[in-house]
Amino acid sequence: MTSSPDPLTSANALWQRLTKHQPAVAAALAMQLRALPDTWAQRELGMARPHAVLELLPASDMPMEIAPHVADWEECPACDECEGLCRYHTGYATGYEELHRPLREISAADPTVTVQDALERLEEADEAAENGVLVRAVAQLIEGAQR
């Protein structure tokens, strides 16, 4: 979704996408809105004047998206909707980076290492961290350096 600074434009775009992708949710939302009392701004958002509510800032910079994602990011309607990576692809990219950063660092330190060796070393490092071997080895290194 276009992160327009104008909440009325954003609301219109959101409604268009909601009716296209989630028509039942759009209908339920319309019913809920029609049932709100005149004091809705005060009751729901703590502000007496509805137009003052339009000045409220979003809680997150993450753009909203309603369109469903597809795994191929080049074909992803959710990515199209938010004009960047959708929530799914943001998570995917984060996981990809978390997996591949250590592999890149290991291969930069030792170009002869294979991916299998690197993954085994990462697993050994995780096990060493979990069972206290890493903490003891670091303590021995620190002691050795201080002598």
Give the residue, chosen from 26, 66, 81, 89, that forms a contact with Zn ion under the rule CB under 5 A. Answer: 89
Q: Which is nearer to Zn ion, 66 or 79 (CB)?
A: 79
Asked if 26 contacts 19 with a C-beta cutoff of 8 angstroms, the reply is yes
* Token reading at 126: 């995780």
**CA dihedral in degrees (112, 116, 117, 123; nearest 10)?**
150
We find the least distance from the C-beta atom of residue 67 to Zn ion, in angstroms, to be: 9
As measured in angstroms, the least distance from the Cβ of 78 to Zn ion is 4
Which residues in the 13-32 window bind Zn ion by CB under 5 A?
none
76 forms part of the interface with Zn ion (CB under 5 A): yes
85, 73 contact by CB (below 8 A): yes
Q: Which one of residues 26, 66, 79, 118 is an interface residue with Zn ion (CB under 5 A)?
A: 79
The answer to whether 18 and 25 have CB atoms below 8 angstroms apart is yes
Minimal distance in Å, beta carbon 14 to Zn ion? Answer: 17
Residues 6 or more apart in contact with residue 54 via CB below 8 angstroms: 7, 8
Give least dist CB 86 to Zn ion, A: 3
Choose between 14 and 78: whose C-beta lies nearer to Zn ion. 78
Handedness of CA 47, 50, 56, 61 (dihedral sign): positive
Contact residues toward Zn ion (CB under 5 A) are 69, 76, 78-79, 86, 89
